[in-house]
């Protein structure tokens, strides 16, 4: 009987661990715009703000070349910094609540949110 309880407890522990993954940051992604165009710092800023806003992120300019983005979904929150210039942008984890963050790991849904934000930023940059 104890063997079965230990086996079930181990299975639940392993399944619970599957919900986390390494924190995904986007490092020095190139700013790619439409052919023949050149992006200004303001163009890049506006593309990032539009992308985040389209996806429900609260976007706040916190300094030159720096935007804080925050999203809240179903009791979970995540905050990232988006550093940018005319050549690259970087999305870096800042903090979160209710996303099992710790030891470089986070709930896997967070990574999906970051991938969506990155994809939308790239799409908005191509509209410049």
How is domain 2-125 classified at the architecture level of CATH?
2-Layer Sandwich (3.30)
Split at pLDDT 50, 70, 90, the class of 15 is very low
Residue 76 has pLDDT above 70, yes or no: yes
- Cα 54 to chain centroid distance, Å, stands at 14
Cα–Cα distance measured from residue 85 to residue 78, given in angstroms and rounded to the nearest whole number: 23
What residues have CB less than 8 Å from 48, skipping those under 6 apart?
A: 59, 67, 82, 84, 89, 121, 124
Give dist(CA 102, CA 57) in Å, integer.
22
> What does the pLDDT read at residue 18?
61
State the Cα–Cα distance between residues 120 and 85, nearest whole angstrom.
Answer: 17
pLDDT in tens, 52-69: 999 999 999 999 999 999
Q: What is the dihedral sign for C-alpha 123, 124, 125, 128?
A: positive
Whether the per-residue pLDDT at 4 is higher than 90: the answer is: no
Domains of the chain: which residue ranges? Answer: 2-125
Are 57 and 49 in contact by the 8 Å Cβ rule? The answer is no
pLDDT band at 78 (very low <50, low <70, confident <90, very high): very high
Residue-averaged pLDDT of the chain: 89
Residues near 22 by Cβ (< 8 Å), separated by ≥ 6?
104, 105, 106
């Amino acid at each position: 009987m104890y063997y079965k309880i230990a086996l079930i407890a181990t299975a639940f522990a392993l399944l619970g661990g599957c919900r986390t993954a390494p924190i995904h940051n986007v490092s020095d992604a190139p700013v790619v715009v439409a052919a023949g165009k050149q992006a200004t710092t303001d163009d890049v800023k506006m593309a990032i703000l539009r992308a985040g806003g389209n996806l429900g992120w609260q976007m706040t300019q916190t300094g030159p070349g720096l935007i804080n983005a925050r999203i809240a979904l179903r009791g979970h929150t995540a905050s990232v910094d988006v550093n940018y210039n005319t050549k690259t942008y970087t999305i870096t984890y800042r903090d979160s609540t209710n996303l099992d963050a710790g030891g470089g790991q986070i709930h896997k849904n967070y990574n999906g949110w970051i991938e969506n934000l990155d994809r939308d930023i790239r799409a908005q940059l191509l509209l410049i």
